[in-house]
Amino acid sequence: EAGVAQSPRYKIIEKRQSVAFWCNPISGHATLYWYQQILGQGPKLLIQFQNNGVVDDSQLPKDRFSAERLKGVDSTLKIQPAKLEDSAVYLCASSLRLAGAETQYFGPGTRLLVL
Amino acid sequence: QQQVKQSPQSLIVQKGGISIINCAYENTAFDYFPWYQQFPGKGPALLIAIRPDVSEKKEGRFTISFNKSAKQFSLHIMDSQPGDSATYFCAASIRGGSQGNLIFGKGTKLSVKP
């Protein structure tokens, strides 16, 4: 079974530029999550989707971050404009169902450096 | 209310020794407590998880101990091996919740010396 795919793996941008990350979840997984992992910290949920609908985006900085999951499969996360404090690893995860005890499968992440 | 506090921040153990990582939570609504293992350059992967109706769960060399009254749980790695060197995250969520939110601790970087 193929895992969660993410691209690009690394990205370096100047502050105020925009950037987009792509995620392809495990086939058949209805729930998709985007996490932000700052160096030395645990992942922090930014947004979660159930199929193509948003379940929770309460921690997404909506003035600069946006995400979509068209057709309930792939998802993109965009930052516009980027700030220095956005430097982090952005992790995508998916699970079969939307439930607190469902195993979340993580992709390798996209490491973003904002200069 | 939503925090999960994890300690220590880093841990060095000799090969064959026991590694112990501790976590504490505040929200009594949490009822699912997984541990994730993360290797450099990889995403976290589920290692083992426990529900509060049991006090201990063991899978191979990995054991979770759970103390509901103290709102604490810990991961024990027996016979630690260099291949166990990774960052370990405890987490908590609400099983019956309408969302899949996992609240993660800050992580413990484990180094097992040969």
Per-residue tens of pLDDT for chain B, all 114 residues: 568 999 999 999 999 999 999 999 999 888 899 999 999 999 999 999 998 889 999 999 999 999 999 999 999 999 999 999 999 999 998 876 656 688 999 999 999 999
Q: Does B95 touch chain A (CB under 8 A)?
A: yes
Residues of A in contact with B41 (CB under 8 A): 108
Q: In angstroms, what is the C-alpha Rg of chain A?
A: 13
Tell whether the torsion through CA atoms of A27, A33, A34 and A35 is positive or negative.
negative
Nearest chain B alpha carbon to A111: B41
Between strands B33-38 and B86-92, the pairing is: antiparallel
Residues of A in contact with B40 (CB under 8 A): none
Q: Report helix, strand or coil for B43.
A: coil
Q: How far apart are the first and last CA of chain A?
A: 37
φ, ψ of residue A71 in degrees (nearest 5) = 65, 10
Q: Does A73 touch chain B (CB under 8 A)?
A: no
In this structure, which amino acid lies at residue A43?
Answer: P
